[in-house]
Copies of this chain bind each other. A is one copy, B any other.
Amino acid sequence: MTNSNDGNGGAATASIATGRANMQLGYTPLYLQVRQQLLDKLISGEWLPGAMLPSEQQLSVQMGVSQGTVRKALDALSADRIVVRHQGRGTFVAEHDQRRTLFQFFKIADDKGDRVLPETVYSQLRRAEPSTAESRLLGLRPKAGVWRIVRHRALKGRVMLNEQITLSEDRFPGLDVHVPLPNNIYELYERHFATTVARAAEQLRAVSASAQDADVLGCGETTPILQIDRQAFALNGALVELRRSRCLTEQFHYASDLR
């Protein structure tokens, strides 16, 4: 009703960070600034995984922008699977529940194309010295150590995956307290080490089974193996996990959607 006469339906009256900076480069639209602000709060731990964010209305008041701008920022975060939105319920910080782990971070499927949940049948954790490459990639202090996890994982009752994971000891202090490690390890990162894996990059190669592969997977030494190297990144972009999976692909395959 009131329709106060301030009349300003215009744009960008409240540019948050950079004002009207618009020379050539260095201009970020308001909704992206809002997105970054929200992301910063998520990184800082102000809202923990599973928590409900304030409503769009509340956020718009807090941040001094319109509800539509908040919505666009939230939609962007939702597209990156950083938050999850439910109509009528609210917006929530994404959690590493089984479903997310299965669909976003586990690409092995059976011959019908259905994703299969892997079951950990053997798990070992030890502390080790990093290689120079690992130290560089993980951005470790000069003398810092790493955790090395070896897991054997079964699909439909047969051991199919031989997996090695490398983590910074600094980022995961006292990890050995949590032995035996749970099947969903990203949930552990999230709950106990304030580390949310937001995205990952994988490189796939076909290699020959090593003697150790043959032993673990119960195959011949020259059996072709799918080797998957993964780098997992946290919300702030930091590399937090190095992983190498060696996988039998006789009854299963790696599924990739191109779109």
Contact = CB atoms under 8 A, between A and B. Distances in A.
Given A206-B206, A224-B224, A200 B249 contact: no
A199 B253 contact: no
How many copies are assembled? 2
A102 B142 CA distance: 40
A51 interface: no
A258 B198 CA distance: 9
B204 A254 contact: yes
Nearest to A208: B224
A127 B3 CA distance: 70
Contact of A254 (B81, B198, B203, B247): B203
A104 interface: yes
Nearest to A197: B258
Among A1, A198, A225, A253: residue with most chain B CB under 10 A:
A253
A230 to B, nearest CB: 8
Interface string A11-34: 000000000000000000000000
Given A3-B3, A202-B256, A206-B247, 11 more contacts: A200-B257, A201-B257, A202-B258, A203-B253, A204-B204, A204-B249, A204-B253, A206-B225, A208-B224, A222-B222, A224-B224
- Rank and list the top 7 A-B pairs by shortest CB-CB distance, nearest first: A206-B224, A205-B249, A206-B206, A199-B259, A224-B224, A204-B254, A206-B226
19 contacts: A80-B259, A105-B258, A107-B258, A113-B203, A199-B257, A201-B255, A201-B256, A202-B257, A203-B256, A204-B226, A204-B256, A206-B207, A206-B224, A206-B247, A207-B224, A222-B222, A224-B224, A229-B253, A230-B258
